[in-house]
Amino acid sequence: MKTLLALALSLICGVSAASATQWPGGAKAAVVLTYDDALDSQLDHAVPVLDEAGFKGTFFLTGLKLAAIPRWRAVGAGGHELANHTLFHPCPASKFSTEPRYTSEAYTPAAMLREIEQQNVLLTALDGKPTHGFASPCGQTLAGGVDYIETLRAANLVTYARGVYTSPDDLRADVGRMDPMHIPSRGFDEAVTGAQLIAFAKEAQTGGGMAVYLFHGVGGDYLQVSDPAHRELVAWLAAHRDEVWVTTLQGALDWAKAHPDAKH
């Protein structure tokens, strides 16, 4: 009976069980800007632009340089999210050359979790927060050929794991019901234009879910988006702040969990 009633209601509303999350202030979608690898170009070009717009980003830190510690501490104090990207960024040997013992083939799930735990300690020393989110190096979760994501979930070491964007369906998902250990994100080619970056936010705006951007270098370093393209995106988001809610990844997930879909 309950099921029939739910079905009837969903037909009346024309909204399926997978309907989108209700975002704050009537925003149609959430937009999350994430930046990987603790790059200086992010400190130089991304943080100031976000601060100027009053936006908070999510920074997945790894391989921190001693000289940059005061700057990252200030980024955390400024309300941006500092998150876990391991200490040594272990990736498959095929991705890029590194000391063999730091390739993901040389790890075990237990060693990977130990490393993630130590990066958490470092992050807490930086921002004072007890828990942190996580993004796996190179977007893959194998350690010695064994997927460690379920071990990581069971260990309760991280609040979420950022995964990979697969299709526009990801932009329509009910974020409150998403698996926190598989949060989709989308990377872009180096030649990406501001308009192409904006198009992703517009898709989210239509879909009603969440668009998670994945950046590396901003106007420098590697896998970079140009400074003008990044600025163009942030300017568009600033001009549309009533329609899209720009927040950290933890902020979006916390909101979605606390405000289950109310559209029925």
CB of 137 or CB of 207, closer to Zn ion: 137
Q: Minimum distance from CB of 177 to Zn ion (Å)?
A: 27
**Interacting residues with Zn ion between 96 and 155 (CB under 5 A):** none
Residue 194: CB partners within 8 Å, gap ≥ 6? 228, 229, 230, 231, 232, 233, 236
Sole window of 30-38, 47-55, 73-81, 146-154 interacting with Zn ion (rule: CB under 5 A) = 30-38
Sign, CA dihedral 144-149-38-205, equals positive
Q: Residue of minimal CB distance from Zn ion?
A: 36
Torsions phi, psi of 32, nearest 5?
A: -120, 125
Longest dimension (CA), the chain: 64
CB of 131 or CB of 140, closer to Zn ion: 140
Tell whether residue 37 is a contact of Zn ion (CB under 5 A).
yes
Sole window of 36-44, 64-72, 184-192, 223-231 interacting with Zn ion (rule: CB under 5 A) = 36-44
Size of the site for Zn ion (CB under 5 A): 2
Q: Minimum distance from CB of 183 to Zn ion (Å)?
A: 15
CB of 88 or CB of 236, closer to Zn ion: 88
Question: How long a stretch of residues is the chain?
Answer: 264
Q: Alpha carbon of 82 to those of 5, 205, 245: distances in Å?
A: 44, 26, 19
Torsions phi, psi of 82, nearest 5?
A: -100, 130
CB of 135 or CB of 204, closer to Zn ion: 135
Looking at residue 19, what DSSP letter applies?
Answer: P
Helix (H) or strand (E) holding 60: strand 58-61
Sole window of 6-14, 35-43, 187-195, 206-214 interacting with Zn ion (rule: CB under 5 A) = 35-43
Sole window of 28-36, 177-185, 188-196, 223-231 interacting with Zn ion (rule: CB under 5 A) = 28-36
Site residues (CB under 5 A) for Zn ion? Answer: 36-37
